[in-house]
């Protein structure tokens, strides 16, 4: 049976690049994004590889939409990769953390932390059946403390901790969990972070393909609990902490 992946934020940028890569490897895909037109254009491109592609436009913060994504993966027969890529920058232009509008911060946590966790909960039975892998997309803002990036960085730091915690909790259940910082990329989100600036010096998402080719060839148990930098000379940032800790 062909392997299958769910990819959020799949209509453009990194999500679409990874979708194209997996489609070329013969994966069946369930792809989602909020914009119907861009998502369907991505689906048409992905289908040229010959595999099954289910495109469901919607918001990952919506419970019913998450259930539809899980049901679509079940329809394809299995789930091997959950690629949590959909994110929001939060308030823009990027404000200092000391004056960050708290309503927008709460919304950023809902999109960047709660929604990926909820989708993991929804799809975990499928992932356990196949011995699958969860990939949560992080950022160097989670560790950098960069002025203006505090709100976004907070959400990605929380997602990093969620990834490691899940890896510890799921140890022995045949599901791997990793966190990946893809690095600066020439994407619409990155442009939104720098309105009016020229970001043409940033590489396109395809620069990360060697990393994805390696990661998706690994047994989930061999990589679980790790945080990676897809553009670094050394991909692995930290070794896993997969042991019981007294608190």
Which residue reads 């992080």 in tokens?
138
Measured between alpha carbons, how far is 131 from 175 in angstroms, rounded to an integer? 5
Given a contact cutoff of 8 angstroms between Cβ atoms, the answer to whether 177 and 136 are in contact is yes
Please list the helix, strand and coil fractions of the chain in percent, rounded to the nearest 5, in that order: 45, 15, 40
In the residue annotation, 100 being an active-site residue is answered as: no
Q: Give the tokens for residue 53.
A: 């592609």
Q: Give the tokens for residue 87.
A: 């994110």
User: Which residues, at least 6 apart from 165, have a Cβ–Cβ distance to it below 8 Å?
Assistant: none
Measured between alpha carbons, how far is 220 from 174 in angstroms, rounded to an integer? 7
Q: Which of 27, 100, 146, 152 is catalytic?
A: 152
Given a contact cutoff of 8 angstroms between Cβ atoms, the answer to whether 207 and 185 are in contact is yes
Q: Which residues are catalytic?
A: 152
């Amino acid at each position: 049976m062909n392997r299958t992946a769910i990819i959020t934020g799949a209509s453009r940028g990194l999500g679409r690049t990874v979708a194209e890569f997996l489609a070329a490897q013969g994966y069946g895909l369930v792809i989602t994004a909020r914009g119907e037109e861009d998502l369907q254009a991505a689906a048409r491109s992905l289908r040229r590889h010959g595999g099954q592609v289910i495109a469901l436009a919607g918001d990952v913060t919506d419970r019913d939409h998450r259930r539809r994504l899980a049901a679509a993966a079940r329809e394809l027969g299995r789930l091997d990769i959950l690629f949590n890529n959909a994110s929001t920058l939060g308030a823009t232009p990027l404000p200092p953390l000391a004056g960050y509008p708290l309503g927008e911060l709460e919304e950023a946590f809902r999109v960047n932390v709660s929604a990926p966790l909820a989708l993991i909960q929804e799809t975990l039975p499928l992932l356990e059946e196949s011995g699958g892998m969860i990939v949560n997309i992080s950022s160097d803002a989670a560790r950098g403390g960069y002025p203006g990036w505090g709100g976004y960085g907070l959400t990605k730091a929380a997602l990093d901790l969620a990834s490691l915690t899940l890896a510890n909790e799921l140890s022995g259940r045949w599901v791997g969990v990793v966190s990946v910082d893809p690095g600066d990329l020439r994407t619409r989100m990155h442009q939104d972070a720098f309105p009016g600036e020229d970001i043409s010096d940033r590489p396109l998402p395809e620069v990360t393909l060697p990393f994805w080719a390696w990661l998706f060839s690994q047994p989930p148990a061999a990589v679980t609990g790790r945080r990676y930098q897809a553009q670094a000379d050394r991909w692995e940032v930290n070794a896993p902490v997969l042991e019981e800790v007294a608190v």
